[in-house]
């Protein structure tokens, strides 16, 4: 219990006309520094409009609120002068408050005592370094914060028997002194007990591999939170609740209860888009977040547009470290008929993935690519075995339409007849994208994509490995994959190299609606120097619950076929 001896002596002089009502009292505060003035304003603003009448009762209420505001910051002996100015009618006046705060109350003694295991706990030692010091001006908020922080830290670190044996703030206004007395008995610190799972469809050893603690470790609520987050990130469960059994403590152990609800075995997602070059496009995803009790998962995507149709399926096999290491087996089929490209491709791959604390991911893979294609004036069949490695990282803050984020990715892959490929080649592809915001209404996005393929048999390189630019994820003022070198017949043949970049500015117009201005540029080329293409445009963004929906109109400055291109899409920006 806190006992306060509050004996303020307030001197008040006033020029007052009682009984005159003011519809909207306007206070003008003088004589205080910024912190005191702000606190007084907060207290005065709490006076209801119905009580704001120039009466003696209102005067008394104002005096009380000023006293409480100043006492909270250590000033118990103010002098307040009231003056009414600019009174043009009973509904219009200004109350001028000239306040001299007086001498502050200072802390004369800080008596904080810890007993129990917390006495030797470094976390409590560090916390007490932030306690008010003798000689400081009293701030009741700091006292309350210290008291609350000690209690909160005890709960977070497993001191479930902790209690205050003494908690008191004593104030002697006449002496301008305050005395802080906090005696805290923590008792013993509890340790993690056994973990019990409820309603899990996944083998418990799979779940145990994600534990951030082991039985017997000192209790930390942050470890429970990390375990809860790890279980949620698997996608195996629709809800996860990890709780400490404080009501069933045993000796120095606290049992942990994990309540789980399985995710639906089948989940479906859809995405739609439209652009003047591709027309309507639809993506349908079918996901089995848990295929069996080992936590394997299956994800199948069907993409359909006029120029391209793709069917791809991925099977994921978590390893011992479920969150960080896994295998993926992937198979796919793609049919493409776009501009001067016709191809039918079959692909399959197996990859090994690692995730690191830095946020980076690494993947080693081996993929098989079979392509029956006509590119420009050349028709061929290529059969390639391509080992490769990828490094990537994605970070974001702010939900589906992040206010901050970035993405980096780079992939190296190679083929050689010694590895059963038809040709020898080396290919590298990289991407970086950044989202930054000045404030809640101004947002910037920049993106750079680049790649190169090195081979002496370029005619036998499948179209999916060559480089084309243009489209809604590239240079928006040009048709989908319409930018590349041309052969002797003027047909697109794809490039050995590619670079594209984007600069975009978003401004919040109202609510979840944004306007966009952007510039895109780049080229795909082979032997000659690149001929940079540029486009610019405007767009609208709607921050929907499932991600940003984008509508863009872009103009390519060297585009002779279509003056403007229209793009409509839904999906993540990173």
Domain boundaries, the chain: 26-100, 106-185, 191-262, 267-570
Q: In whole angstroms, what is the distance from residue 164 CA to residue 187 CA?
A: 11
CATH entry 3.10.20.310 includes domain 26-100: yes
Q: How far is CA 208 from the centre of its chain?
A: 27
End-to-end CA distance of the chain: 53
Residue 220 · residue 156 · CB < 8 Å: yes
Phi-psi region of 229 (alpha: psi -120 to 50; beta: other; left: phi over 0): alpha
Q: Coil, strand, or helix at residue 453?
A: strand
Angle 221-233/140-156 helices, nearest 10 degrees?
60
Residue 471 · residue 478 · CB < 8 Å: yes
CATH number, span 267-570: 2.40.160.50
Same fold for the domain at 191-262 and the one at 267-570?
A: no
The values of phi and psi at residue 459, to 5°, are -60, -20
Q: Coil, strand, or helix at residue 358?
A: coil
CATH superfamily of 106-185: membrane protein fhac (3.10.20.310)
Residue 538 · residue 552 · CB < 8 Å: yes
Residue 87 · residue 53 · CB < 8 Å: no
Query: How do the pLDDT tens digits run along the chain, 574 residues long?
Result: 333 333 333 333 334 444 444 457 788 899 999 999 999 999 998 888 778 888 788 888 999 999 999 999 999 999 999 888 877 665 677 889 999 999 999 999 999 999 999 999 999 999 999 999 999 999 999 999 999 999 999 999 999 999 999 999 999 999 999 999 999 999 999 999 999 999 999 999 999 999 999 999 999 999 999 999 999 999 999 999 999 999 888 889 999 999 999 999 999 988 887 877 778 889 999 999 999 999 999 999 999 999 999 999 999 999 988 889 999 999 999 999 988 999 999 999 999 999 998 999 999 999 999 999 999 989 999 999 999 999 999 999 988 889 999 999 999 999 999 999 999 999 999 999 999 999 999 999 999 999 999 999 999 999 999 999 998 889 999 988 999 999 889 999 999 999 999 999 999 999 999 999 999 999 999 987 899 999 999 999 999 887 889 999 999 988 666 678 999 887 788 8
Closest by CA to 172, choosing from 108, 94, 260, 225, is 108
| CB-count burial class (<10 Å; 0-12, 13-18, 19+) for 185 | middle
The partner residues of 336 in beta bridges, in order of sequence, read 308, 343
The values of phi and psi at residue 477, to 5°, are -85, 5
CATH superfamily of 191-262: membrane protein fhac (3.10.20.310)
**Strand stretches in 306-423, DSSP E:** 308-318, 325-338, 341-355, 361-375, 378-397, 404-415
**Pairing mode of beta strands 497-510, 442-455:** antiparallel
């Amino acid at each position: 219990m806190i006992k306060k001896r509050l004996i303020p002596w307030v001197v008040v002089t006033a020029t007052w006309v009682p009984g005159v009502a003011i519809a909207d009292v306007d206070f003008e505060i003088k004589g205080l520094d910024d912190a005191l003035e702000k606190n007084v304003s907060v207290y005065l603003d709490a006076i209801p409009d119905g009580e704001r009448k120039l009466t003696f009762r209102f005067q008394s209420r104002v005096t009380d609120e000023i006293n409480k505001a100043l006492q909270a910051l250590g000033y118990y002996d103010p002098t307040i002068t009231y003056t009414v100015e600019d009174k043009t009618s009973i509904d219009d006046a200004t109350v001028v408050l000239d306040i001299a705060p007086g001498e502050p109350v200072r802390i004369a003694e800080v008596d904080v005592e810890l007993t129990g295991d917390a006495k030797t706990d470094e976390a409590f030692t560090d916390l007490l370094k932030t306690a008010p010091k003798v000689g400081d001006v009293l701030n009741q908020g700091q006292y309350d914060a210290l008291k609350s922080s000690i209690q909160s830290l005890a709960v977070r670190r497993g001191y479930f028997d902790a209690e205050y044996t003494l908690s008191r703030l004593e104030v002697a206004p006449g002496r301008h002194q305050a005395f802080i007395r906090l005696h805290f008995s923590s008792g013993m610190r509890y340790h993690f007990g056994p973990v019990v799972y409820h309603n899990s469809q996944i083998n418990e050893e799979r779940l145990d591999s994600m534990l951030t603690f082991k039985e017997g470790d000192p209790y930390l609520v942050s470890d429970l939170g990390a375990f809860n987050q790890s279980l949620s990130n698997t996608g195996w469960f629709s809800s996860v609740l990890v709780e400490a059994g404080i009501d069933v403590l045993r000796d120095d152990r606290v049992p942990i209860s994990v309540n789980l609800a399985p995710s639906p075995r089948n989940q479906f997602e859809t995405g739609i888009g439209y652009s003047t070059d591709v027309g309507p496009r639809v993506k349908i995803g079918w996901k089995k977040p848990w295929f069996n009790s080992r936590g394997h998962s299956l994800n199948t995507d069907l993409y359909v547009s006029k120029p391209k149709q793709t069917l791809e399926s991925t099977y994921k096999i978590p390893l011992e470290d479920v969150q960080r290491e896994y295998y993926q087996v992937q198979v796919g089929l793609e049919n493409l008929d776009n501009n001067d490209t016709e191809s039918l491709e079959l692909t399959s791959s197996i990859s090994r993935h690692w995730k690191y604390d830095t946020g980076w991911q690494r993947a080693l893979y081996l993929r098989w690519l079979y392509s029956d294609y006509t590119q420009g004036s050349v028709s061929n069949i290529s059969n390639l075995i391509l080992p490769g490695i990828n490094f990537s990282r994605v970070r974001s803050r702010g939900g589906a339409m992040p206010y901050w984020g970035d993405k980096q990715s780079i992939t190296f892959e190679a083929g050689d007849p010694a590895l059963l490929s038809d040709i020898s080649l080396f290919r590298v592809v990289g991407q970086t994208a950044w989202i930054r915001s000045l404030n809640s209404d101004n947002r910037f996005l920049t993106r750079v994509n680049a790649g190169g393929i090195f081979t002496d048999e370029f005619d036998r390189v499948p179209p999916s490995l060559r480089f084309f630019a243009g489209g809604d994820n590239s240079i928006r003022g040009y048709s989908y994959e319409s930018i590349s070198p041309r052969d002797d017949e003027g047909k697109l043949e794809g490039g050995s190299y590619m670079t594209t970049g984007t600069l975009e500015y978003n401004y919040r117009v109202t609510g979840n609606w944004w306007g966009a201005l952007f510039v895109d540029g780049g080229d795909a080329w082979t032997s000659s120097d690149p001929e940079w293409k540029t486009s610019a445009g405007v767009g609208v963004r709607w921050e929907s619950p499932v991600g940003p929906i984008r509508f863009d109109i872009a103009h390519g400055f060297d585009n002779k076929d279509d003056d403007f291109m229209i793009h409509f899409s839904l999906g993540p920006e990173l």
